[in-house]
Amino acid sequence: MLDRTETRPGAAVLILHGGRADGPGPPPAVNLPGLRMRPFSRALAAATAGRGVVLGRVRYRCRGWNGEQADAGRDALRALDELDAVLGAPVPVMLVGHSMGGRAALHAAGHARVRGVVALAPWCPAGEPVAHLRGRDLVLLHGDRDRVTAAADSWALAGRAREAGARVCALRMPGGDHAMLRDAGTWHGLTTRLVTGLLGLSPLPPAVAAGLEGGGGEPADARTVAAGG
């Protein structure tokens, strides 16, 4: 579903909310993971208004990832395939995903239209494929008090993706939880700066630009980056 269209779209941002490991049925009408992403959508809409950026949400057929079926990942790829037809022309796409949506975004990042991914507290199981991430810009933002998905798994995937040829920056949110409720404004504001920066609409935070270019090292402090450090 597109939240906003432009007469001359130059780029698109797709939002992917979280879900469950298993859940073959459709998401409920009142879906907390989906609601959690609305402040991110509003912040992105305000920052990109009138700048030729289409905003959209990926709708899942199933509530869960469901093992090898990778339902959310398949839905993300389907949405990317449909985007050209909806917009009438191919445009570069940024994916923003939380939790299972972060996994789905990373899964779909090999699609020809995808320029990069901002993954928020993503679910990154050991052994997740990374070869398709070559040439993509990836920023993984994870709280160090997350008890649902492990920040260490994000850092491990970041390292493997970097070795596979992706440009990767890892950001640690001190005290951040999985729901992104602690210091929510920093989550929303920094995500917006990352997306607009990766699309070339604004400067990237210097630490992120340096991380993408240089790679390696410990994850940067997200609050320091958000404050301009």
Given a cut of 90, whether residue 2 has pLDDT beyond it is no
Predicted confidence (pLDDT) per residue in 187-198, tens digit: 999 999 999 999
Alpha-carbon gap, residue 52 to 225, rounded angstroms = 27
Query: Which amino acid belongs to residue 24?
Result: P
Please report the beta strands in the chain, taking only residues with DSSP state E, as ranges in sequence order.
Answer: 2-4, 11-16, 53-57, 93-98, 114-120, 137-143, 167-173, 220-221
Given a cut of 90, whether residue 219 has pLDDT beyond it is yes
Predicted confidence (pLDDT) per residue in 67-116, tens digit: 999 999 999 999 999 998 888 889 999 999 999 999 999 999 999 999 99
Residue 183 three-state SS: coil
Decide: residue 55, CB within 10 A, 0-12 exposed, 13-18 middle, 19+ buried.
Answer: buried
pTM to 2 decimal places: 0.96
Q: Is the dihedral of CA 88, 39, 105, 161 positive or negative?
A: positive
Fold of 2-226: Rossmann fold (3.40.50)
Please state, rounded to an integer, the average pLDDT across all residues of the chain: 95
Predicted confidence (pLDDT) per residue in 7-53, tens digit: 678 999 999 999 999 999 999 988 999 999 999 999 999 999 999 99
What is residue 229's predicted lDDT score, i.e. its pLDDT?
59
